[in-house]
Structure 1
Amino acid sequence: MIPWVQLDSAKTPDGAQELRLKRRGAEFSIMLGTNELMNSRLSGSEEALAKLSCQRVAGHRRPRVLIGGLGMGFTLRAALAELGNDASIVVAELVPAVVAWARGPMAEVFGGCLDDPRVTIRETDVGHLIRSEPAAWDAILLDVDNGPEGIVHKGNDALYSLAGLAAARAALKSGGVLAVWSQGPDAGFTRRLKQAGFTVEEVNTRANGKRGARHVIWIAVNGSRT
């Protein structure tokens, strides 16, 4: 069996933990401690995050989409495939090394999607972008942790709080969608979404098409489009 080789590492924003980029043949993995955050062979649920969200806003004129977390680009590529040429996508990535990995050792995985004219990469906290512009986004897609809890960056806890969800709803246009990826269910988070005023649907999906671990995607809609 081909052994894993560590290509690079980077501290999390609080400096308390370390992200590690590893490679085994053509396969890549990003680890946080002993937890694998993502693997280049498992893209199904991240792609579903984009497809489910973008399908909900397909009729919107000049849709603006905010993606929290670059990862391995699965969500970004799927969103680009779903959206037309009039769309714009901003990707917020808090760890600069992840962007460097996307343009460097994992460039083949990304397939040039960072150079798409519809895409803007912002090396910043997605929460800052959410709070900075009201009624600005047709869809906000969050895949910055393994679920509605700040694992990579404890500051992300604020994203999933009632106040954070209220801020996300304020940042969405009428009929806009907040979509959140998770490795598993969280009844408390579902309740908070409803308390924040969203219409909520929980979608179960697989890590790799019809196979792999079961993941959860929350599709939370901000009222009805007028």
Structure 2
Amino acid sequence: MSTIDAPEVIDRREGPYGEVVLRRHGELLQIIANGCFLMDTSDGRSERLLVDAALDALDDRFRPSVLIGGLGVGFSLAHAAADPRWGRITVVEREPAVIEWHQEGPLSALSSDALADPRTDIVEADLVSYVNETSATFDALCLDIDNGPDWTVSDSNESLYSPAGLASCARVLRPGGVLAVWSAKPSAEFEETLGNAGFRGVRTEEIPVARGVPDVVHLAIRPG
């Protein structure tokens, strides 16, 4: 392998939940958590669908608020901030390193305009703890904190996809609010769990990929 093909480590941190690494591989930036690839800057289609599908499901609410779980490489935040139809945009990110990479590091090229938007608020917190404790409510909750309900990188995220975790998600949603969950693969079991947790209108949208199983967004509505 030539040196041009080898990923370059830009920053490596020991965070509150283990090691996080920012790498450059050619033109791409990659985030690695505890040795597991999380995401890169190659596409962003699925993150944009996550945000758009949530907005489309809100029945033309005026300036709805959205809680985005996970800052990642910034695609979801940037896409939401680029749409004037959204009102308050709150992003919960538990890794301080990821926030710093956006505020003053290489990822700022993707998110600087969104971070400067007065609608945007970045909260450094664990999303599971946040939805359990916050008194704030939102019209939409867009979750992209892991590889999905059936493939979690962090064991602590598993509880978010459980009946108790979904009850917490419903609690922070206003009546008729939408829950949108990104996943690296479809999960019929998670669809069933959503229905059993009291959500209605449960459906799954696929994002075509060149090879392999498509990414998906699971969508569900909190009853009014």
Q: Which amino acid aligns with 2:179?
A: L
Give distance in 2, aligned partners of 1:135 and 1:98. 24
Give per-residue Cα distances to partners, 1:69-123, cap 9 Å, x unaligned.
Answer: 00011111112233436x0011000000001111212211224211111100000
In 2, the alpha carbon distance for the partners of 1:30 and 1:154 equals 18
Which amino acid in 2 is paired with 1:176? G
Shift of 1:35: 3.2
Q: What corresponds to 2:208 in structure 1?
A: 206
User: Which residue of structure 2 aligns with residue 6 of structure 1?
Assistant: 9
Percent identical pairs in the alignment equals 37
Supply the distance in 1 between the matched residues of 2:133 and 2:34 (Cα, whole angstroms). 32
Matched-pair contact (CA < 8 Å) for 2:77–2:111: no
CA distance in 2, matches of 1:135, 1:33: 31
- Report SS of the residue matched to 2:9: strand
CA deviation map 1:118-155 (0-9, x unaligned) = 10000001223322346711001110000015734322
Encode CA deviations 1:152-207: one digit per residue, 9 max, x unaligned. Answer: 43221111110110111122111100110000012221111000111211111135
How many residues were matched structurally? Answer: 218
Counterparts of 1:58 and 1:10, CA distance in 2: 42
CA–CA separation in structure 2 for the residues paired with 1:48 and 1:107: 22
The residue that corresponds to 1:100 in the other structure is 100
Q: 1:69 to 1:133 in 2, by over 3 A?
A: same
With the length of structure 1 as denominator, give the TM-score of the two structures. Answer: 0.87
Equivalence for 2:138: 137
Are 1:30 and 2:31 matched, yes or no?
yes
CA distance in 2: counterparts of 1:121 and 1:187, whole angstroms: 32
Q: 1:51 to 1:97 in 2, by over 3 A?
A: same
- Assess if the C-alpha contact under 8 Å between 2:91 and 2:121 holds in 1: yes
- Partner Cα separation in structure 2 for residue 140 and residue 220 of structure 1: 10
Q: Distance in 1 between matches of 2:186 and 2:62?
A: 33
The letter for the 2-side match of 1:11 is E
Amino acid at match of 1:91: V
2: CA distance between counterparts of 1:134 and 1:220? 21
Q: 8 Å contact 1:65–1:138 — kept in the other structure?
A: yes
Question: Any conservation in 1 of the 2:207–2:216 contact (CA below 8 Å)?
Answer: yes
Distance, in Å, in 2 between the alignment partners of 1:12 and 1:201 is: 35
1:222 Cα deviation after fit: 0.9
| Contact 2:137 2:174 (C-alpha < 8 Å) held by counterparts | yes
TM-score, length-normalised on structure 2?
A: 0.88
Structure 1 unaligned runs (5+)?
none
> In the aligned structure 1, how far is the partner of 2:136 from the partner of 2:99?
27
5+ residue gaps, structure 2, are none
Question: What amino acid maps onto 1:67 in structure 2?
Answer: I
**Aligned-partner SS, 2:17:** coil
**Within 5 Å, which residues of 2 pair with 1:16-55?**
18-55=19-56
Match of 2:64 in 1: 63
- Per-residue CA deviation, residues 12-40 of structure 1 (Å, 9 max, x unaligned), is 5333xx22110134311112355321110
Q: Which amino acid aligns with 2:55?
A: C
Q: Report what 1:109 is aligned to.
A: 110
